[in-house]
Amino acid sequence: MALVKISGLERHYQMASETVRALDGVDLEINEGERIILLGPSGSGKTTLLNCLSALDSPTSGEYQFSGNKVPKNESEAMTTFRRENIGYVFQFFNLLQDLTVLENLLLIQELAGSRDEDRARNLLALVGLEGEVDRFPAEISGGQQQRVAIARSLAKRPRLLLGDELTGNLDSWTSSVVMEVLVKACDSEGITCVFVTHDESLVQYATRVIRIDSGKIISDESGGANVPSSTPKHIVG
Ligand SMILES: Nc1ncnc2c1ncn2[C@@H]1O[C@H](COP(=O)(O)OP(=O)(O)OP(=O)(O)O)[C@@H](O)[C@H]1O
Ligand SMILES: [Mg+2]
């Protein structure tokens, strides 16, 4: 069964003199374990699509099923619950809490999701190569290391779908590739399905599938440079 099944999704913004069709009839199925790169020009609807996928935003019309269940819309409490249970997010600006250590940043997210698990937090930090930095504060590590903390944090509550919007947009190309390799390894070992928005064509090598969007419509959908992992995902903790 598809993890994500979207059909006829539209998101319109009613402005004073016009209707902006940010999403204009999107059909999309995403299977478990896929790693999708979403490309498109500025204003094409990428962030709007991520926001609908994560139920941060409600579509104007169309259907969205997640794991066979209808995703709530226009109901902020149910949408928050859906997000908390299923969705991880990595941002361009790492959004780490500066007064908490690297480890505490992960523990806080687990506590908010109702499941503190320090062993898992430490294992994830080791997986992204930061076992030596767990007790440092964000200001005491580099930008690439901060983004690796943000990746470990996004996985700490075991999301089923991980979303990223320009997650390497703030990093130089060498650091971007380090971060992407860490991310791919972590997602493969956890069996997590991903959709990453980017302007950077070179990230296509990390994707199992590449989708291009323009004017709110999918204009191409093809295989990426990476293979879907064939081994059974092994969960690193528990
Ligand atoms: N709150 C809003 N009100 C009105 N129009 C909006 C709103 N948010 C987005 N839009 C419009 O919807 C369209 C899609 O925006 P979106 O943010 O999804 O683009 P994007 O592909 O993420 O662009 P970028 O690459 O610049 O981040 C744009 O025309 C944008 O101006
Ligand atoms: Mg955007």
Residue 125 pLDDT grade (very low, low, confident, very high; cuts 50, 70, 90): very high
Q: Is the pLDDT of residue 173 over 90?
A: no
Q: Is the pLDDT of residue 238 over 80?
A: no
- Give the mutation target among 9, 12, 48, 215 for probing the ligand 1 site: most ligand atoms within 8 A of CB: 48
Q: Is the pLDDT of residue 230 over 70?
A: no
Q: Is the pLDDT of residue 231 over 50?
A: no
Average pLDDT, the chain: 91
- Residue matched to tokens 């390497």: 168
CA of 51 to the centre of ligand 1 (A): 11
CB neighbour class for 208 (10 Å; exposed up to 12, middle 13-18, buried from 19): buried
Torsion of CA 92, 182, 162, 224, to 10 degrees: 100
- String of b and e for 164-176 (b: at least 16 CB within 10 Å)? bbbbbebbeeebb
Instruction: Compute φ and ψ for 175, nearest 5 degrees.
Output: -65, -35
Nearest-atom index, ligand 1, CA of 15: 4
Give the model confidence (pLDDT) of 187-217 as tens digits. Answer: 888 889 999 999 889 899 999 999 999 999 9
Q: By the 8 A CB rule, do 184 and 208 touch? A: no
Model-level pTM? 0.89
Give the model confidence (pLDDT) of 20-52 as tens digits. Answer: 999 999 999 999 999 999 999 999 999 999 999
CA of 216 to the centre of ligand 2 (A): 12
R_g over Cα of the chain? 18
* Domains observed in the chain: 4-95+159-223 (3.40.50.300)
CB-facing half-sphere around the CA of 74: CA atoms within 13 A = 4
Q: Is the pLDDT of residue 235 over 60?
A: no
CA of 43 to the centre of ligand 1 (A): 5
DSSP 120-157: HHHHHHHHTT-GGGTTS-GGGS-HHHHHHHHHHHHHTT
Q: By the 8 A CB rule, do 127 and 187 touch? A: no
